[in-house]
Each structure stands twice: as C-alpha cells, then as structure tokens.
Structure 1
Amino acid sequence: MLDQVEKWESDQKDLWFWEKLGRLPFVFLDRITPNVVRDKLGTAVDELVAFLENGGKYLVRERDIHARFQEAFPQGDKHAKETISISFHPLAHMDKIAAELRESRAAFAAVQGATTGFGGIFTLAVDIPLLLGTSLKVLQEMAICYGYNPQEKRERLFIVKCLQFASSDIVGKQAILKELSSFDSPAKERDVLSELQGWREVVVTYTENFGWKKLFQIVPVAGMLFGAYLNRSSVRDVAETGMMLYRKRRILERLRAEPS
C-alpha cells in the first residue's frame, strides 16, 4: 500500500503540457478580471486564514463520516453507543469511504461549476468561494476517513498544505512532498508553530494558481461546460491528494507501531 502511494507521488512530479501553457495567459486574465472577482480572491485569502486559525465556517461534522462507516461496516447493533474508532478500521475500509466521498463531491462540484459558469466572468465571483469551500470540506472528510481530526489546528495546517499541493507546479509539489514526508516525526512537531508563521505564502500560492484555472470559464454559456469540467477535476484532484497523503500517514503510523 505504501508503494502505491509513493508511485502516485512520483507521478505528481510530471507537469502536464497544458498546465505549462495555462500559465501564459495569466497576465492577460489578470488585466481583464473585474474588481469584483479580485475582491473575491482577496476574500478567499481571508477565509483560508480563518479556516487555519479556527476552522471558520468550513468545519465538517465528524458524525456524518462515522455514520457512513457504521452503515458500510456495521459493528453489531447500529444503535450501540460504543463503536470502533475510525483510526482502527482496516485501510480497505478507509479507502472505500474516502473514494465514495471523492466521487460524490466531484459530481457536486461539476453541477456547481455548470451553474456558476452560465454567466461567464460575471458569475465567476460566485464560484470562487463555493469551490474553495467544497475543497476545504472534502479535505476534512479525507482527514476523518483516515482517523485524523480537522478540529485540531495542526491538521488544518496539513489540509491547507494539501490544498496548495493540488494547485502547485512541479517545483511546488516536490517541496511540499518533502515537507510533509516528516510531518508526524517528533522533530517535526516542534516546528509546527514556526510553520504556522509562513501560512500566508501557502494561501497566496493557492489563490494565484486558482486564477488561470478559471481562464476558460469567463465566456458566458460556454462557461457552463468549462465550469463543470474544471470544478469537477479540481475537487477530484484535491480529494485524491488528501486521500493519498492521509493514507500515507496512516500507513506509516501503523508501520511504526509494528514490533521490530
């Protein structure tokens, strides 16, 4: 299972040709972007800050994920108060629920993108906070699926790093993978507070990369197709990133717990 995650990490180091091309029109996009969209990007920065500090308005309910596990993998009486913690479930169980959530959230994002894409650049301002919210929520769900608690500030830092990873280029992905590879080591825990001091760079990187991904959504009506595709692929990429990186953390924790 660890080999599968590491293969996925290796695949992330290849930058798609269209992604390279996608950066070329960014200056043009910046010039034609209405102030209302710029304001929404600024608001996205503020909302990411609030999420990192206290969860903001994006915290999800853990009991909904627990209910999914209980329904899919019942442990005796479904009304019993005592149920096994998600962190003790087999990885196959975690993978199944995480994959279901990934697909359902991606489908929801496609509908959302088509709806907000109908008006082109005029409704783009509405789409920005919706997509950000969906991305943050699905990453929290991935955390819970693998037994981690997004209520903790440290986990919210990991979630924002996952968000940054999903929208970064090859250099950014390599740097983040290196940083997260030792996230749970004792030495790394001492650096968490210092890492929190640099969260602004993470937030700004995400919002900058957000802009060019929406380039083709600025055309009215046609933006429905681009909006549906871009939102679906964005949320699916974010969910897969969270799924794989949290999966790796859980695997490594279990390997460390194995008797030598």
Structure 2
Amino acid sequence: MTIAPLEAEADLKAELNIIEKWEQSQKDLFFWEKLGRLPFAILDRMTPKFIQDKIGTALDEIGSYIQNGGRYLVSKEQLYRRFFPQYDMDETACMERIAQLPLNRMDEMADGIMQSSSNAATVQGATTGIGGLFTLAIDIPLLLGLSLKALQEIAISYGYDPTHKSERIFIVKCLQFSSSVIVGKKAILEDLAAFHSGERSGQVISQLQGWREVMVTYRDNFGWKKLFQMIPIAGMLFGAFLNRSTLQDVTEAGKMMYRKRRIMEKLKHYNPSST
C-alpha cells in the first residue's frame, strides 16, 4: 500500500530543484583540484614501506565493507530511537516508518549527523596531526571509516538500509563524488541517478569496477590538502581544519544524494508512471 507523502507535489519539486542547482555548482571546481594526485605520487616515494603497508591494509578493510559491511556498519537501533523514543518495532517496519516521515524531519536528523561527524573529524585530525608524516598514515584510513559511518547514518535518516549491498555501493559512490574532479563528478552523478530506478540499480553495481580504485581516488584527490598536516605539531591545526572540511564535504554530498532519492520516491505518488 502506497502512503501519500506529507508534502505537496509543488513543494517537493521546489526542493528537487534546489538539489539540482547544488549538483550543478559541484561541477565548477578550481583548476588546482585536478592537481590532487600529484602530492601523493611524490609522497609514495618518500613514505617508508611499513606506512604504505598500513594504508594498504586499511584500504583492504574498506573493500570488505562493500562485500559484507564489516566493522563499519552502524547500530541502526540507536538511530531508530532518535526518531522514535518508544522504539518497539522490527527493523523493516521502522525503516518503512522513517521513509514516510516529512522531509524536514529527515533533514533535521541528517543535519545533526553532519554536525556530530564534523566535530569528531576535527578532534581526530588534531590528534593524528601531532606526529606529522607518520601519524598521517593512520589518519587517512580513520577518516575513511568516519566518512562511511556518517554516510550510513544519513542513509538511515532518509529511510534507506545501509546493510543492503546496493546501498553500500551507493554510499561509496557518494564518498567518491565528494572528492572527485569535474569530469569524475559528471560521471558519478549519472551513476547515482540510476538508483532512482530499481530496474537500473544493477547497472551501477557493474559500473563500480573496483573498490580499490574508488578508495585510492578518494585518498589521492584530497592529497594536496594533507600536505601541511605532514608538519609535526603544526599538523594539529591543519589536521583539525582539513578533516572537518572533508567530513563536511562528504556528508553534504550524502545528504543531497539521499535527499534527492527520497524526494523522487515521494513524487512517484503524484505520477506513478514516472521512473
């Protein structure tokens, strides 16, 4: 049984237009964003092998996230109780109920997650910035893990279950989008658009040719931002600021992409034949 959305069709279309304008703004990047890979190409030659091995191991763990969720899956029950203090229903019913909430309630929850994850990233960046180059090696996988956790919580906020493999792939695509250059953003937006149609979601899975390629791109494309964090002690300030801005970019992308999907789902009530 389809339940009518709580928002008027015109209001939903207005919100969708805001998101589409945001997508367009993401394509207008400074030219130096394209230089993002260069610092890490140099850093790879300078970094001791044991640090490179640690980064590689962390990336392997991220790969397992797509396959089975691994240790990066969140506790959905905690989020359910934030929506429904008297939480006493099964997971399926709870997720369906979240999907029926008004959009502004979903936004409120997502905004809270964005703020808390940015605060956590700030503390983490300051902590790992103390040791410069050597602590930078552990900062990157920690930041990836924090980003995945925040994106999963945002997914739940809009009524999508991150334990499903297709959702984990969507989350990794959001992660990739937040750090891609202009050409990559255009391609990823096309991939993400496929999730608006269940018939096409399988194509996106096949288009994701390898999680390692995605994660290495994510690491490399914000590499230039991490150069200053390589300075011991002073790296605390740079690490705090840059990790915070990174999480803000990641969670903004996640919120916009999941918000768009939910709006499209709500609009189907007014035009059931749309895809």
Q: Which residue of structure 2 lines up, in the alignment, with residue 224 of structure 1?
A: 236
Q: Pick one of 153, 160, 164 that aligns with 2:176.
A: 164
How many residues are aligned here?
Answer: 254
Structure 1 residue 232: Cα displacement:
0.6
Aligned to 1:214, the other structure's residue is in SS state helix
Aligned to 1:258, the other structure's residue is in SS state coil
Q: TM-score, normalising length from structure 2? A: 0.85
Decide whether aligned partners of structure 1 residues 150 and 31 sit closer, same or farther in structure 2, where only a CA change above 3 A counts: same
Aligned runs of 1:95-134 on 2, under 5 Å? Answer: 95-134=107-146
Q: Pick one of 64, 68, 72 that aligns with 1:58.
A: 72
Q: Which residue of structure 1 lines up, in the alignment, with residue 148 of structure 2?
A: 136
Aligned to 1:241, the other structure's residue is in SS state helix
CA distance in structure 2 between the aligned counterparts of 1:258 and 1:157, rounded to whole angstroms? 29
Letter in 2 for 1:7: K
Letter in 1 for 2:99: S
Q: Pick one of 48, 53, 75 that aligns with 2:62.
A: 48
Runs of 4+ more than 6 Å apart: none
Structure 1 residue 193: Cα displacement:
4.7
Q: Which runs of 5+ in 2 are unaligned?
A: 1-14
Q: Which residue of structure 2 lines up, in the alignment, with residue 207 of structure 1?
A: 219
Structure 1 residue 22: Cα displacement:
4.6
CA distance in structure 1 between the aligned counterparts of 2:205 and 2:88, rounded to whole angstroms? 39
CA distance in structure 2 between the aligned counterparts of 1:207 and 1:186, rounded to whole angstroms? 30
CA distance in structure 1 between the aligned counterparts of 2:88 and 2:128, rounded to whole angstroms? 43
Decide whether aligned partners of structure 1 residues 230 and 129 sit closer, same or farther in structure 2, where only a CA change above 3 A counts: same
Contact 1:44 1:132 in 2 (8 A): no
Contact 1:163 1:206 in 2 (8 A): yes
Aligned runs of 1:1-260 on 2, under 5 Å? Answer: 1-20=15-34, 22-71=36-85, 78=86, 81=89, 85-259=97-271
CA distance in structure 1 between the aligned counterparts of 2:43 and 2:265, rounded to whole angstroms? 44
Instruction: Give a deviation string over 1:213-247, Cα, whole Å, max 9, x none.
Output: 32111000010011001111111111111100000
Contact 1:214 1:230 in 2 (8 A): yes
Contact 2:80 2:87 in 1 (8 A): no
Identity across aligned pairs (percent)?
A: 58
